[in-house]
Amino acid sequence: MGVGWCSFESSEMFASFLASTPLLEESWRLCDRANASLGQAFVIEQVGSRVYVAFSGVQYLIQGLDPSFGNLVSLDSVSEDFLAPLHYRNEGEEPVMVHAGLLHLFLSSYPTFKTQMSTIREKSKSIVITGHSIGGGTASLAALWLLSLLQSESSSLSVLCITFGSPLLGNESLSRALARERWGGNFYHAVSKHDLMPRLLFAPLASITSQLHCLLQFWHLSMQSPQYRQLADQLNSGVAPQIFDNVLAYLGWLTQAGGSLKSLCSPFGNFFFCSEEGAICVENAASVIKMMHLMLVTSSPICSIEDHLKYGDYVGKISLQFLNKTNFMQGDLPKSSYEAGVALALQSAGMLNQEPIASPAKDCLKMARQMGLTPSLNCAKLAIKLSKINPYRAEIEWYKACCDSSDDQLGYYDSFKLRRASKRDSKVNMNRHKLAQFWDHVIRMLDNNQLPHDFHRHRKWVNGSQFYMLLVEPLDIAEYYRTRKHHVKGHYIDHGRERRYKIFDSWWKNRKVTDEENSQRSRFASATQDTCFWAKVEQARDRLDNVRSEHDPRKRAALWDSIDRFEMYARGLVERKEVSIDVLAKNSSYTLWTEDYKRLKSQMRQLPPPFPSLMDVEVVPFLDDNK
């Protein structure tokens, strides 16, 4: 049921699809019923093999306005298992955060919802989760929970979430996480032209706190009774203009920044903008923000308050939008199908002949098309660049094979570390830098949102980055210790490791592991599987030297404990054949360290034990916890 990326050119198709199915009408009918069902968090109705679950938009206000209504809280504050697929994040990214009030509301109904879902899933092929107003935000959380559950079970059950006038749910990290999981197409948010609620949380809560409670109470009463005109007039002269002006100002600020500024919340999924003339569908977050601003510019405080209650009218009119879809051709014909698509979209949004916003709206729709395509095109171009740098990698592989078979029996790592000024070594060092430049460029593109959000899950890039790291990081470590940087900056793992390697580590650890990868090795690996192995060898050598010069018994005992743990760790790698043959070369750093370790250990055993019990000393950590 979910639909992927859509540009303005396909907005008419998506609007047509939804208008031609009972999805919108049935969803709104259930939302209306849920709002009228006092005391119930959600209502359920089955239509054929499809089940509709509608969350109440007034239940939150019945329970009382929580002081944390507009705050965001991290999913980590709930548990690691709650929406588990969304917990992953790249280095430097904020954790996924959601609306505290909506999270509290969903968790209060979670036990009942979970029980109901267990029964429903056995009887249906598809589930539509819906909600109006605050109920829409709760519905989004419910859909995310169900999608997470179905992913863990590899279920084929179809899930679609349709909201009406829902506030935004979470921060930009949430939007990224949904894009990585490719769940954006499971969410459709109907937003009417003037409705303030979907735009409310673009503004910082501090700017609207004093008026927010009154506004929500008004919407609550209006849903329960048609006698709200007098209340609306009161709001028009007091609360509404203040909130309206603040939200409009912040939306304008975000629009001028291209949607790149960190607002309180960020859009995700597909936004179905409704007007009297029809509807259009937009997904790109920056375009969504701009459309919300342009539509609100044509509104007024009282319209923006009342429009929140008119989704039933909009749903009824959407199906009529295509009967008059060619009216815009009364003047000059569009020059191309591209221009026709723009004009149709503007007409559906009710903005075709509205100046001065028609031109900015046209630019916004074109931007949505360009920004939607760019990440995929960039990814394709990167694949071409990757193929062009493969010769550099191949030359380093050849160099490794020569080192491992050399008569000096130093192996790959030590040959590069002890290298002299030869043409072959210089070429390998140059290739090392060229490969680093390419992968740093990939990381910069990710940081700038120029690649698909699920880029790190593409097997091509996960495997490619891992292969690069296994081959090249030992050379980086060798260069680090060859130039004696550890005497200035400290050891490599904590003070010299490049950010790209840390990011690639997280990609590799979060990949889907195949049964073949778990099988036992019958021969040594082509590259040592712990890419920081040689840095740990260097650190162990340093600590072995420190043992000889350390006179404090407690510190010596702690050093020995760390050294012993590394020896056990390294021996385990060798026994499992997770190291390359260069590790066991006769004159490698590891082989020489092992001989030195055994010799010193034997000498220490012949002396009276001067150390306190290891249980009484502070253990010095050695191994990288991420390895």
**Rounded-to-integer distance, Cα 582 and Cα 527, Å:** 9
Q: Are 485 and 494 in contact (CB under 8 A)?
A: no
Q: Are 95 and 74 in contact (CB under 8 A)?
A: yes
- Can 76 be counted among the known catalytic residues? no
**What tokens does 399 get?**
């160099």
The C-alpha angle 355, 291, 55, rounded to 5 degrees, equals: 135
Please enumerate in sequence order all residues whose Cβ is within 8 A of that of 187, keeping only pairs 6 or more positions apart, or say none.
140, 143, 161, 163, 178, 268, 269, 270
Longest distance between any two alpha carbons in the chain, whole Å: 103
- Can 293 be counted among the known catalytic residues? no
Q: Is the dihedral of CA 605, 609, 614, 619 positive or negative?
A: negative
Q: Are 412 and 403 in contact (CB under 8 A)?
A: yes
DSSP string, 127-162: EEEEEETHHHHHHHHHHHHHHHHHHHHT---EEEEE
SS3 33: helix
**Rounded-to-integer distance, Cα 567 and Cα 578, Å:** 15
**Annotated catalytic residue within 189, 308, 453, 491:** 308
- Can 194 be counted among the known catalytic residues? no
Per DSSP bridges, beta strands 72-74 and 97-99 are antiparallel
Q: Is the dihedral of CA 190, 193, 195, 200 positive or negative?
A: positive
Q: Are 173 and 98 in contact (CB under 8 A)?
A: no
Q: Are 219 and 228 in contact (CB under 8 A)?
A: no
Per DSSP bridges, beta strands 158-164 and 126-132 are parallel
**Annotated catalytic residue within 195, 307, 530, 582:** 195
Residues written for the chain:
627
**What tokens does 172 get?**
């930009």
Instruction: Give catalytic residues, as residue numbers.
Output: 133, 195, 308
